[in-house]
Amino acid sequence: MTEALHVGIAGLGTVGASVVRIIADRKEMLERECGRPITITAVSARDRNRDRGIALSGMRWFDDASALAVSDEIDVFVELIGGEDGVALDSVTKALKAGHHVVTANKALLARHGFDLAKIAEDRGVLLNYEAAVAGGIPVIKPMRESLSANTISRIYGILNGTCNYILTRMEDEGISFEECLADAQRLGFAEADPTFDIGGHDTAHKLSILTSIAFGTRIAPDDVYLEGIANITQADISAARELGYRIKLLGVAQRTESGIEQRVHPTMVPFSSVIAQVAGVLNAVAVETDILGELLFSGPGAGGNATASAVIGDIADIAKSRPGFQHGPVFGTPAKDLKPYKRARMKSHEGGYFIRLTVYDRTGVFAAIARRMADNNISLESIVQHSTSADDQNDNKTVILVTHETTESAVRKAVEGITSDGHLVDKPQVIRIERAG
């Protein structure tokens, strides 16, 4: 039997504790599949005395994660600390430079520093594995890096944040407001006390930027993601979408265009008939469009201790199966030195249908003004529906729902700006893209 793989884990929160427990419970299975034992030799966390419900006997405790990262007692450093800088960045950098393999679930770290870390890993001939950083327990990184090597990817899109998907699902199923649903999500532990990172789309943007790098061979560019969150989604939008045969999801979308790579995160209407529309609750899904295999969809638990731990352990197992002298593949599928600088596509290059909800004063000439602004920007309408803003129609406002045929982002923006300047709107207009989805 080959010598054991010695693992050090920094961070013993929900995920870290699950990793320790599962490796202990599945020791014989992992040894049989990997051809060698996997042994957790050392751990590090902020509170040595906290009861985590796991056995840590026989493991050396490090108060300093960076000291664990360079310890000669380990072969693999597992970073589960979190955060894009600070201890996480310092310890991962030191581990790679010390010649240790690294496994991380830290999407923020990779989105911000992945290119530099990949260069170090490839120069040192060690692995930097991060399956758990995107879509939790769903295996999508390894298939994109390895299994799809012969395919050209044209587009990737998906539901990458379980908190947002949970909120939108409950809003539709139960008819409750965004604010009420968010409060419930926080109470149940699906949303943080400060949920901005999730509901603002930032978490999805970090994950999307990593997938974009793998798909298109570019350097990670999290600051070049067009970003909209879900805080402005109302029951009026949910209800109108349902009437039109759509469901609203927060999607991350990246695709190759003639002017560059387009990355965007925003609420999107997808047809009821699409597979991704059926992904409910805290589940995640990633769709990959390829020239040889067509569209592939990966779906499953996107977060949680066991789901994320499963991906972390899979990455550790891959390292256990490798042998000295084995040539490791590039961190992002393309060698770091060959990753192209990211070229952001012009937003006007995005084409598709749009849902536009306008609350207008009920007076003569409003419909004509709206139609004129659409025509001036060469926007063809698939449908236009008028609703009263209240059941008894006692006020002077109307809700106008427009669904466009395929048009451009810039045309829609100009049309909506024109309608706003005409002075017919009671409230801020709502614009939601309609996405082609399998």
Residues known to be catalytic? 207
3 state DSSP class of 237: helix
User: 127: buried, middle or exposed (CB in 10 Å: 19+, 13-18, 0-12)?
Assistant: buried
The alpha helices in 46-133, defined as continuous H runs, are 65-69, 86-97, 107-124
Task: Provide CB contacts within 8 A for 389, sequence distance 6+.
Answer: 359, 395, 397, 398, 399
- Beta-bridge partners for 247: 270
Q: Please enumerate in sequence order all residues whose Cβ is within 8 A of that of 118, keeping only pairs 6 or more positions apart, or say none.
A: 128, 330, 331, 332, 336, 339
Burial class (CB in 10 A: 0-12, 13-18, 19+), 418: middle
Q: Are 182 and 214 in contact (CB under 8 A)?
A: no
In this structure, are residues 401 and 385 in contact, taking their beta carbons and an 8 Å threshold? yes
Q: Closest by alpha carbon to 96, among 84, 88, 85?
A: 88
From the number of C-beta atoms within 10 Å of its C-beta (0-12, 13-18, 19+), residue 57 rates as exposed
Q: Which two tokens stand for residue 402?
A: 């427009």
